[in-house]
Amino acid sequence: MNIYRYEENPLITPEDVKPFHEGFEVIGAFNAGIAKYKDEILMLLRVAERPRSEQPNIVKAPIYNPATQAVDLVEFRTDDVRYDFSDPRVIRDVTQSAGFAYLTSLSYIRIARSKDGRRFTIDDKPFVYPSNPLEAFGVEDPRVTQIGDTYYIYFSVVSPVGIGESMVSTQDFVKVTHHGMIFCPDNKDVLIFPEKINGKYYALHRPTVKSIGSPEIWIAESDNLLHWGNHKHLLGLREGMWDGGRIGGGAVPFRTDKGWLELYHGATKEHRYCMGAVLLDLNDPSNVLARSGKPILEPDAGYEKNGFFGDVVFSCGALVEGDVVKIYYGVADTSMACAELSLQEIMDGLI
């Protein structure tokens, strides 16, 4: 696989982003949804901000408070044995089986704009910011599906009651309409197809299951993009391969003459995140035709291997121009990068 990583990579780093919250630092500007709007390429950045702490033995958890519309801080001492601080992203309650109790940063969505797709200017203010109790711990990992003149933007919302997927829409990236939670907890990595197929909308989604099963990709259908059903299991883990630990949708699926191509992320059990592709039937995307034997993109460059959470390439959006697939992707849960790949080479690697 020939991979052309942009010379400008990383395109955006946390240092490029001015904190929105006083007393906070930006620790991530990553996992951006991608849109073409007028003559610009937009990155809908996930910006993660962390409260500055002068005392190394204090960890602060930021929580959006819908009543006051401000961010509250909960402080923890790192020697508090009731909590586990070993993962820098989260605070775990050692008495609970749940994955985490608090996040150490608050994420929201901010737009970066570019004419050439390489040099971006970042908006001063958030574009989508937490606004209700289901978003108290932040909004993460946006994707953008354009249907006609409308851009549907959907993202993980995190709160004490779960992680689900909510959606907004816009026609101008200024005025935003909220549509509520479209996939209930535990779910993330939703990808809505850009057109109806045989009269139905389709979406990929990634339930995080507790009773039985693994973090794998499902598909659902809808008449109106708001309500989803006829859920089917689509794609499973492959033991011992690059996608043997967890998988989830990545970029918005795009049409090729062979089928719908979805660029998805796969991680090993050791949390090394790569990107690969899966080809779905043009007339029935619940039918899997082929998938990448090897990753199409894997952590290699320094900015991909090292960061807040290293060894991660994670795409939420790509642009396709003829044979050129421009994969925009978050690196190491820290920054944004872009690489160009050949569509034909991606197709040739499907097994």
Mode of pairing for the β-strands spanning 187-192 and 201-207: antiparallel
Of 171, 209, 269, 302, the one binding a second copy (CB under 8 A) is 209
Segment 230-269, which members bind a second copy (CB under 8 A)?
230-233, 236
**Any contact of residue 135 with a second copy (CB under 8 A)?**
no
**Any contact of residue 187 with a second copy (CB under 8 A)?**
yes
Task: Report the alpha-carbon distance of residue 226 to residue 192 in Å, rounded.
Answer: 11
Of 220, 275, 296, 316, the one binding a second copy (CB under 8 A) is 220
Of 52, 82, 121, 180, the one binding a second copy (CB under 8 A) is 180
DSSP-based three-state secondary structure for 302 = helix
CB 190, min distance to a second copy, A = 11
Q: For residues 90 and 112, which CB has a smaller minimum distance to a second copy in the complex?
A: 90
Size of the site for a second copy (CB under 8 A): 48
Q: For residues 107 and 159, which CB has a smaller minimum distance to a second copy in the complex?
A: 159
Instruction: Kindly compute the dihedral angle of the four CA atoms of residues 104, 106, 111, 116, in this order, to the nearest 10 degrees.
Output: 10
The stretch among 64-72, 118-126, 219-227, 333-341 that binds a second copy (CB under 8 A) is: 219-227
CB 125, min distance to a second copy, A = 27
Segment 94-113, which members bind a second copy (CB under 8 A)?
98-101
Task: Report the alpha-carbon distance of residue 211 to residue 206 in Å, rounded.
Answer: 15
Q: For residues 183 and 308, which CB has a smaller minimum distance to a second copy in the complex?
A: 183
**Any contact of residue 162 with a second copy (CB under 8 A)?**
yes
Using CB atoms within 10 Å of the CB of residue 262, give its burial: 0 to 12 exposed, 13 to 18 middle, 19+ buried.
buried
CA-nearest of 203, 204, 200, 161 to 184 is 161
Q: For residues 2 and 97, which CB has a smaller minimum distance to a second copy in the complex?
A: 97
Q: In Å, how far are 32, 66, 253, 296 from 278, measured between CA atoms? A: 21, 40, 9, 11
Task: Report the alpha-carbon distance of residue 33 to residue 102 in Å, rounded.
Answer: 25
Q: For residues 137 and 329, which CB has a smaller minimum distance to a second copy in the complex?
A: 137
Q: For residues 37 and 100, which CB has a smaller minimum distance to a second copy in the complex?
A: 100
Q: Count other Cβ atoms within 10 Å, centred on residue 133.
A: 14
Task: Report the alpha-carbon distance of residue 299 to residue 273 in Å, rounded.
Answer: 7
Task: Report the alpha-carbon distance of residue 291 to residue 247 in Å, rounded.
Answer: 12
Of 161, 196, 284, 294, the one binding a second copy (CB under 8 A) is 161
Task: Report the alpha-carbon distance of residue 137 to residue 63 in Å, rounded.
Answer: 5
Q: For residues 57 and 230, which CB has a smaller minimum distance to a second copy in the complex?
A: 230
The residues binding a second copy (CB under 8 A) are: 98-101, 133-134, 137, 158-164, 179-187, 205, 207-214, 216, 218, 220-224, 226-233, 236
